[in-house]
Structure 1
Amino acid sequence: MRRFIPSTSCLIAFDTAARHLSFTKAAHELHMTQGAVSRQLAVLETYLGVKLFERVNHRLILTEAGREYAMQISATLTQVEIATFQVMTYKNSAGMFNLATLPTFGIKWLIPRLPKFTKAYPEVIPNLSTEVLPFDFNSRQVDAAIHFGEPDWPGAVMVRLIGEEVVPVCSPSLSTEVRSVDDLTRMTLLQHTTRPLAWQDWFRQAGVDCPNALSGPRFEQLLMVIQAAVAGLGIALMPKFLVEVEIASGQLYIPFPLAFKSPQSYYLTYPEKNASKPAVIKFRDWILSELQDS
């Protein structure tokens, strides 16, 4: 059955013109004449039976259909480009392992240990990207992902890796301001956007009332929270295993040994179709062993 897909050259011309909102700039990027770009777009519009561009006050703009199509085509071309580079780079893709990991977990814990994995399995080539929230494996070229939360990723196998203990940490420059747990209620509390209730839960477990538990600067990634704490911006509530280096080096310290276990955990998750993939099995067995030894 013939696929109902326009020519790649037309799609590339459209994607480029849509990004620049200029046929001239698109032609320059594609090393084509402006007339050639215009003809490609005319062929595409005829094929679709839809106007993709229009001119308003001498300015080129996308029609509503054009905007929607541009978003989808851009994402699709990016995936095609990634797949092409991978095939060109790795002639035999059987050993490739594409992992989406939480940014801070990947940077602070996983990457420093990856040399052990590549030494144990030199035939497996790990490719890392970052993701914070669950996604549809069917729409991504990802073999597995590191997830923190509940084991509720639809349609995926979830292997529990590790729980976490959270502790308050701060820069030594704030040590004179933190003499008791009550002092924390009057200090700047550094917040993580995906864990908005973390401080509230910690104070509740500590038996301390803190009306400002939800207040304070918010950061998108735990790595940003760590750096803010190191800079002395406030007190951070961190998984202890992610700040071991900063604590050992004296950049951060724990003012109170009140560590509470999080009700959530870290998981290795992957679609069922990848359960028998050699690279996934090797990584799963390695990371479980590494966590057991650490």
Structure 2
Amino acid sequence: MKNLQRVHLNGLRALETVGRLGSLRAAAEELGVSIGAVSQQVIKSESQLGAAIFERTGRGIRPTPLGRQFLDRLTTGFQTLDTAIAMTRHDSDAVLTISVAPVFASKWLVPRLARYARAHPDTKLRLDASIGLVNPDSSDIDLAIRVGEGNWPEVKAEHLLAQEVFPVCAPALAETLASPADIMAAPIIRDANSNIEWNIWLKQFGLDQAHLAEGDTFTDAALCLDAAIAGQGVMLAWHTLAHDALAAGRLVAPFRERATTRYSYWLITSATRPEPTKVRAFKAWLRSEIEATVRG
């Protein structure tokens, strides 16, 4: 590895970041330094390498033909380093890092974590509230919970729960719904970001969502649920979102029929590393809680 001695690591990092992001400004923001500092690192590194990695044009900076090949390999190298460092963070059984969608965390998972803490007092949880795809091999995430079809690449995906949807509303509004057809005249609470259509549930009764009444629209499922609890209308909910409000009597499911979507909850873990004890323990606990939710 004597070639690595020709260039300082910070210089290589500057070259890789500029090449990956396409500008000095973006690289400076990611690295937390000034644009001038990044520029100087690039110039110094090119001098140490004895080759031009970038060419300067009136439209900014772009890789030379040699630079493109060099930067591709440099990015691969830094990704390998990042993975190696992430692996050391996974070795500790003291902290379990879980990536989970905010609405699943707030409406279902967090209220149950006290039971997990009592059963596993030596493990501390760190929740990363996000919906983006994560790869445990290149991050500090031990386990992710995602909704989808289970076809994510380069990860291990284990089925947790099929997603079923059904209407819910406040008890007073439920008293006006004698049959599914009555929903067509009720105010409908809509989630603007949802990819689940009302027809998934309505079609079994020969009804069409095109004839649903107007109602309030929100960009977050948790807000939709709060609006339903407040009596603002009927929403299309699912197990983990509405379970606790239903159990407390703040919401009612006026009809017993449910409809299965093409989506499910999945447990996402590394496809390459042995599974730590802390991950196995949390998965077992989570499955038991999910089973209790379905039974309830």
TM-score category of the 2 structures, normalised to the smaller one: 0.5 to 0.7
1:102-150: per-residue Cα shift (whole Å, max 9, x none)? 3221221112222322332233232222443655443333222213234
SS in 1 for 2:286: helix
Which of residues 43, 46, 51 is equivalent to 2:54? Answer: 51
Q: Supply the distance in 1 between the matched residues of 2:45 and 2:211 (Cα, whole angstroms).
A: 57
**Counterpart contact for 1:190–1:234, Cα < 8 Å:** no
The alignment-based identity, stated in percent, is 24
Residue 195 of structure 2 aligns to a residue in which SS? Answer: coil
Q: Which residue of 1 aligns with 2:209?
A: 210
Task: Provide the C-alpha distance between the structure 1 equivalents of 2:109 and 2:135, rounded to a whole number of angstroms.
Answer: 23
Q: Which has the larger displacement, 282-291 or 172-181?
A: 172-181
* 2:38 is the counterpart of 1:40: no
Return the letter of the residue paired with 1:100.
S
The question of whether the paired residues in 1 share the 8 Å contact of 2:27 and 2:38 is answered with no
Q: Hey, what's the Cα distance between the residues in 2 that align with 1:281 and 1:130?
A: 21
Residues 163, 21 of structure 1: alpha-carbon distance in 2 compared, 3 angstrom cutoff = closer
Distance 1:11 1:272, change over 3 A: closer
Deviation at 1:19, TM superposition (A): 6.9
Q: Secondary structure at the match of 1:257?
A: coil
SS at match of 2:210: coil
- What does residue 193 of structure 2 align with? 193
CA 1:33–1:212 in structure 2 vs 1: closer, same or farther (change >3 Å)?
closer
Cα distance change of structure 1 residues 54 and 171 upon mapping to structure 2, 3 Å threshold: farther
Would you say the 8 A contact 1:165–1:259 is kept in 2?
no
Q: Which runs of 5+ in 2 are unaligned?
A: none
Distance 2:278 2:30 in 1: 41
1:290 — aligned with what? 289
Instruction: Specify the alignment match of 1:97 in structure 2.
Output: 96
Aligned to 2:241: 242
Q: Which moved more, 1:10-19 or 1:152-161?
A: 10-19
Q: CA deviation at 1:94?
A: 3.7
Residue in structure 1 matched with residue 224 of structure 2 by the alignment: 225
Do 2:192 and 2:220's aligned partners in 1 also have CA atoms closer than 8 Å?
A: yes
**CA deviation vs aligned residue, 1:209-238 (integer Å, no higher than 9, x gap):** 33257x988766432433454566653201
Partner of 1:257: 255
Name the structure 2 match of 1:182.
181
Structure 1 residues 152-185: Cα deviation after superposition (integer angstroms, max 9, x where no partner): 4445444433344422234679679867533433
Q: What is the root-mean-square deviation in Å for CA atoms of aligned residues?
A: 4.7
In structure 1, runs of 5+ residues without a counterpart are none
Q: Would the alpha carbon gap of residues 150 and 43 (structure 1) be closer, same or farther in structure 2, given more than 3 Å must change?
A: same
Residues 239-275 of structure 1 show CA distances to partners (whole Å, capped at 9, x for unaligned) of 1442244456676544x32440425432323234445
The 1:52/1:128 distance shift into structure 2, 3 A limit, reads farther
Taking the aligned partners of 2:55 and 2:175, their CA distance within structure 1 comes to 63
Q: 1:3–1:220: structure 2 CA closer, same or farther, 3 Å change rule?
A: farther
* TM-score, normalization by structure 2: 0.66
> Alpha carbons of 1:173 and 1:190: their partners in 2 closer, same or farther (altered >3 Å)?
farther
1:242, 1:132 → 2: CA distance?
A: 16
Q: Is the 8 A contact 1:98 1:142 kept in 2?
A: yes
CA contact (8 A) 2:101 2:145 kept: yes
Task: Answer whether contact 1:147 1:268 (CA < 8 A) is retained.
Answer: yes
Is contact 2:108–2:244 with CA below 8 Å preserved after alignment? no
Question: Structure 2 counterpart of 1:43, which letter?
Answer: K
Question: Which 10-residue stretch deviates more, 218-227 or 104-113?
Answer: 218-227
Cα distance in 2 for residues equivalent to 1:231 and 1:63: 55
Alignment of 1:153-172 (within 5 A): 153-170=152-169
Is the Cα–Cα contact under 8 Å of residues 13 and 41 in structure 1 kept in the other structure? yes
2-structure distance, mates of 1:158, 1:33: 41
Q: Quote the residue 1:140 is aligned against.
A: 139
* CA spacing shift, 1:7–1:235, aligned 2, 3 Å: farther
